[in-house]
Structure 1
Amino acid sequence: EYLAIAVIAAAVAYCVWLLFYRPFDFFRDFTELGFEQISNKRKYGSDAKKRYIINECRNRREIGDLPPVYPNGWFAILESDEVLKSTVKEVDVLGLNLVVWRGESGKCYVSDAYCPHLGAHLGVGGLGNFEGCSGKLVSIPNVNPVPPFANLKMWPVFEAYGFVYIWHHAENEEPSWWPDAVPEVESGQWKYRGRSVFRVACHIQEIPENGSDSAHFNVVHSSPFTTGSNPDESQLKKNFIKHVWSASWAPNSDLDRKHEALMRVTHFIKLFNKISCFHFTVDVHQIGPGIVLMYFETVLGKGILIQNVTPLEPMLQRVMHRFYSSPTFLHPIALLIMYGEVVQISKDIRIWNRKKFLRNPVFTKEDKQIRAFRRWYSQFYSENSLKWLPNTGSTLRHEKLYYK
């Protein structure tokens, strides 16, 4: 009898933890979206064979006339809780091999991965000691004196919102702007509700450009999350719930904040095509080429969804989200919102994974925001930004700016 009570109590406690305390945590690879025609295991066999076929599809894909593949700006390379004191993390982003570590002071440092002495990878077994601030080589086993010119390249680092950022610039310029502070997150006033991570097979510009395409919201995102990320026509016809969206996009008119674009998204749910409910507005700040801060306010409280887009390769992006909200925001509702976000962005990823980038598409008058976005985004490319050579996997220096 007591054992049964203990088991029931443990089960109830576990359910309470799942619903009210456990943060949302989700990962989805690009291979899961947009390749449904080869998802039949009976036909294609193992996951390894499926992945091989998907990579063949990627190699044959027409990618279009791409802008440079690594824009200038701040990019999230890790989540802060991944970097512990006295440990070294290996990171490959933006065509770079980097190592990340946290000093005893708690400050994060990022450097090139290879020791300037003999080229050992510092994340695998390099034994040199370096100053975190300057990258100066302090000591090498069995070498005295240390060569004064053997220094590591150190990268500007900024830590916020639970992420570690580095500044990347093709001309090696110092940071000209910094990501905005979110005091409610940094102080711990807003609670961490969860995260989602995606790998997306497209050019980085496709992802933030999506926000300026206001027409796509009611085409791609009208169906509720209950129909999943790939609803068929029969599901949509039977569905009595519909998301209704409107959106505006514009660059910040303040010249000191030209790296920022502003967007406002309004939303409500329509039931039986008659009753409107669950109204909310999201104020979106696109900060540079790869950071998006989405502020919202509902009757339940306030919160923010933070999106980071970081190039792993020219045509492979990592998209990371973190969700924070006020303590009054019920955790089960936060989990529901995070799940809804996963479903909705998965609909976009299915398109991005198979999309061809058109440098000069056939714009209509309704697409003026997309044209404005491309002009604004071009500021993050410069003379030496790398351009990808399709079907070779290599890059070359960009010869001229796009969308001027």
Structure 2
Amino acid sequence: MKKFKMLISFLLIISLFLVGCSNEDSAPSADGTTTIDFAIHVANPTDQEPAFYQVIEQFQAENPDIKINLMGKEQQEHVKNIKMMSQSDKLPDVFWMLPASAKELEEADMLMDLTEFIDKNPEIKDSLKENMLSTYNNNGKQYGLPYQPLVTGFFYNQALFEKYGVGIPETFEDLVEATKVFEKNGITTIAKGAKDHYSVWAFLTMLSRYGYFDKIDAILAGKESYNNADFLKYYQKIEKLRKLKAFPKNVTTQSYFQAVEQFLNGQAAMLDSGMWDVKKIEQSDIGKDVGFWWGPTFADGVDNQKISSIVPAAPLLVSKKAGEDETKKEAVFKLLKFYYGEDGTQIMIDNQVPPMTNAEVNIDETEHPVFKKLVDQIRLEDWESQPNQPDLVVPESMANAMYDSIYGVINGTYTPEQATKIVEDKISTIN
């Protein structure tokens, strides 16, 4: 009996030791601080992602009991590192990830379900735009939240429109008439550079006005063809712009960055771009004259024509292990609440990152006129954002074929019929 009692005591000591060891990594430090390991896709967040960095710094200042351990690497190395960490089940507590890889981690059941966070913070749930949540929701499980919004469209030089007596377009017919005037006066209507084949953001939104998101699931399933009557009309519109000489003469040999310079130098009336170019435009000589436009509506388009593009960028994810530790989970929830709340949103705004919520924000229009105009377009009540960018919901090889098809028509190397067939042929290799 004595030996039995000694054995029980020994086993109890061992079990208590093991419990202590299992909680060692996640328990608060001696001073009561909880550490969140946060892996981000840039090596120097201070300079490369100042908006994000300032949100984190302010959160720590207001929550001294929570320390954010930033783990920064350049994107390619970061993604590779996250994949390696997932293989050994040692993911960081919170981390940025590419959408396709995020979905793989979700399917491997390695991510925390953030539905509880959303349900506990209804003000954030109501404030976030619907597509910011639905994009990273899998059968009711909220496995990710957007790092930032991605806003794309056309910047336009209002001074050029006024100089040549052209109104800011609303319809495709308006754009055609403007193109005729600009061509006559030696001005490129839309600055573009085919050497960077992905630079077709506003043109992808135009494709959404021809029913892209109504059709894409059936197209990928092989039940409908990309080579359809509606998409053909879309490519015919691009061909018409090409014939009217809307694009640069050197579009085939020009890069996207050269197209930006063409616009900034006042040689083009519009630029197909996005939020990332706001600062550069505001710092240029034409900054005070630049506005932002979602692109033309089409009389022969499909359904709603007032489609904007305010879509979620790559997501922030939380590891499943972080959610299994109540102390760490509470700290993560506090961080997310600050990040997506009014304070975090205002810090983003102060750094010219557009809002992904409908929270009231303050913008100094005198200092940031282009950014103010972009945000005003985001706030238009009668416009609805496409759920995502069309190229981000299909396999990469199909996305590349879509870029090729659009620039093929812009360059004059494809007819509209050939353009739709190029993409359809690529889909057939995927299926």
Report the TM-score, using the length of structure 2 for normalisation: 0.25
TM-score by length of 1: 0.26
Pick 1 or 2: higher relative contact order, CA cutoff 8 A, min separation 6. 2
Larger Rg: 2
Point out the structure with the larger helix share: 2
Structure number with the higher strand fraction is 1
